[in-house]
A = this chain, B = another copy of it.
Amino acid sequence: MKKSALSIIPLGGLGEIGKNMTAIKYQDQILVIDCGLAFPEEDMMGIDLVLPDYAYLVENREKLLAVVLTHGHEDHIGGLPYFLRQINVPIYGSRLALGLVERKLKEHGMDRQAALNSVNPRDIIEIGSFKVEFIRVSHSIPDAMALAIHTPVGTLVHTGDFKIDHTPIDGDVLDLHRFASLGEQGVLVLLSDSTNVEKEGYTFSERLVGNSFDEYFREASDRIIIATFASNIHRLQQAIITAHKYGRQVAVAGRSMVNVITVASELGYLNIPEGTLISLDEVDKLPSNKVLVLTTGSQGEPMSALTRMAYGEHRQFGVLPGDTVIISAMPIPGNEKTVSRIINQLFKLGANVIYEGDSEVHVSGHPSREELKLMLNLIRPQYFIPVHGEYRMLMKHAQLAQELGIPQENIFVGEIGQVFELTKEKGRISGRVPAGRVLVDGLGVGDVGNIVLRDRREMAQEGILIVVITLDKETHQVLAGPDIISRGFIYVRESEALIEETKVKVTSALQRCTHQGKCGWTYIKAAIKSELSKFLFERTRRRPMILPIIMEIEKK
C-alpha cells in the first residue's frame, strides 16, 4: 500500500502568503512545483527575504527529477537562485517565467547553470512516472499555468495562482475545456488558490483597469504617472496603448520596471509602438500633456522610484502640481501605512492622486468565491487541499468545498511539512518532514536565526547600554573603567547624571563580588546586569539590553 501512494508535501504557501513550494512524491521520485520566496514580516528585522526550508529536498536530492513552475511571480520563482546553488535540476515553465528566472540567475552570477525548458499550454511533459500537463489560466502576469500531473495513483490538479477572466488582455481565456475534461475523466486531488476566498462574487476583469485608465487619460491635462507591479505586463500594455491613443510618450522609472519591460519586449509579451518609449531625462522636454511615466513603488517600497518621487528625492523626475498619479495596486497587508504616507506626500506636492476605493484602477489576480466554486465543480476531485493562503483562508476554502459536496474527511487543511499520502482508497496525513523558513540577510542564508532576531528586537525597543571594565588578572583590581557607552537608550550627553550614577552602581556591584570572593567573569557580569537593569528600570521605566564587557590584563 505505501508503495503505491502519492505523497504531497507542501514546503511553503500553506498558512502564509508567499514562498510557494510543493513536493510531489511517488515511490522514489520527487517532483517540485514552484520555488518561491516571501518578503519578511515586520518583526524579521533587517531580513531581506525569506526562503522555504527545503532541507528535505536537499537530503533527497537523488530522487529529485525537476522543478515545474506555474508562473513568473517572485513568490513562485524567487527561491530558485538559492535552491539551484544546492541542487542542480531541470526547470520547466513558460517562456516568460523562464526569462525572468534567467535574469535572476544572471544577477546571482549563476547564468546558464540550470537547464531551463520552456513549455506551452496543453504541452505534456513526461518526467519519470509523472506526466505533467500545463493548462492556461488567467493571472496578474501573462502565461500563468495550472498543472495536471498524471501519476500512477491518479491525477493531481494544482491550479497555481489563477482567476477566471472572460475578457483577458491577450485574448486567451483560462482553458475551461481542459479543466472540464479533466473533471470528466476523474481527478484524485485538487490543490487550489485560496487567496481571495474571503471575497464574494467574481474578481473583475483586467480590462476594467484599461477602461479606467482611458477615463483618467481623457481628463488629465498634465503629466500622468502610473505606479503598478512591474510583472503585471498586461496592465503595462494597457497603459502604453492608452498613452499611445492620447498622444503621450512613455518613460519608465525603477530598476525592476525597466528590467521586466526589457524581458517582456524581447520575448514578445509587450507590444510597444515605435517611438513611444523615451528616457526619463527627456520628459522635461515634452509638453506636460504628452507624458506618461510608468514606475515601481506601488507598495511604497522605501527605495522605489515612486517613494523617491513623493519625497522629492528622485534624481531625474519630480512630481509637479497638476500631475495625475495613479496607484494601480492594492497595498499588500502590512504595507497600508507606507502606501498611505506616500499618497499624502503626493497630495502635498499638488498631485491629483488616484488610488484604491472607487477608482477602479486595480483588480486582483486571484479568484473570488464564485470562481473557486466553478473550479471545484469543474474538477470534482476526490480529495481537496486548499493552498496559497493564511490559515483562515484555507479553512474558509475547505468550508466552501464541503458546501459543494466534498466530504469533510477528504479535505485537508494542512501545514507546511505535513505529508499528505493519497491512494484511491484513502487519504491521510502520514508524517512530517522538516519545514519552515530560512532567512536571507545580505550574503547570509540561514545564519540569522532566532537569537540574532531577538537581539535586534530587543535593541530596537530600548537600545543597548555597554559597560566596559579592565581588571587586573591577578588582583581583580579595576585598572580602567567602568566606561558606559549607550546607543538607542538615552542620549548620553544629555544624561550625564544618570551615567555617573550608573558607574557608581557598577563599581558597587564589582566590590560586592570581590568581597564575596566571586571573581569569575560570568558571576561579575551577571551581578552588573542585574544591578543595572533594576536601577535603570526604576529610573527610566525602560529595559535596555545591558552588555557588560570585562577585559583582563596582567600588570607586571
Residues of chain B within 8 A (CB-CB) of A429 are: none
Residues of chain B within 8 A of A541, CB atoms compared: 442-444
Nearest B residue to A389 by beta-carbon distance? B344
User: What residues of chain B lie closer than 8 Å to A549, measured between beta carbons?
Assistant: 466, 468, 483, 485, 549
Please state if A344 and B460 are interface contacts (CB–CB under 8 Å): no
Cβ contacts A to B, 15 pairs, < 8 Å: A344-B392, A442-B542, A443-B539, A444-B541, A444-B542, A447-B494, A452-B491, A455-B488, A459-B460, A459-B463, A470-B551, A480-B551, A480-B552, A487-B545, A487-B547
Q: Are B455 and A392 in contact (CB under 8 A)?
A: no
Is A495 interfacial (CB-CB < 8 Å)? Answer: yes
Name the B residues within 8 Å of A552 (CB-CB): 480
User: How many Å lie between the Cα of A541 and that of B108 in the bound state?
Assistant: 13
Q: Which of A30-38, A69-77, A117-125, A332-340 contacts B (4 or more CB under 8 A)?
A: A332-340
Within 8 A of B (CB), among A299-317: none
- Closest approach, in angstroms, between the C-beta of A160 and any C-beta of chain B? 23
Instruction: Kindly report which residue of chain B lies nearest to residue A462, judged by CB atoms.
Output: B46
**Out of B442, B452, B464, B481, which one reaches A551, CB within 8 Å?**
B481
Number of copies: 2
A540 within 8 A of B: yes
Chain B hits for A447, CB < 8 A = 490-491, 494-495
Contact B348 A391 (CB under 8 A): yes
- Asked if B459 contacts A337 (CB within 8 A), the reply is no
Taking the complex as formed, is A360 at the interface, i.e. its CB lies under 8 A from any CB of chain B? Answer: no
Measured between beta carbons, the chain B residues less than 8 angstroms from A451 are: 491
* Contact A337–B42 (Cβ < 8 Å): yes
* Chain B residues whose CB sits within 8 angstroms of the CB of A545 once the complex forms: 487
Q: Which residues of B contact A551 (CB under 8 A)?
A: 468, 470, 480-481, 483, 551
Cα-based distance from A447 to B491 in the complex (angstroms): 7
Q: Count chain B CB atoms within 10 A of each CB in A41, A46, A200 and give the residue with the most.
A: A46
Given contact pairs A336-B336, A485-B547, A491-B449, A553 touches B463 in the complex (Cβ within 8 A): no
- Take A337-B41, A443-B539, A468-B551 as given contacts and tell me if A452 and B463 are in contact as well, using a CB distance cutoff of 8 Å: yes
Q: Pick from B336, B449, B481, B547: contact of A466, CB below 8 A.
A: B547
Contact A460 B45 (CB under 8 A): yes
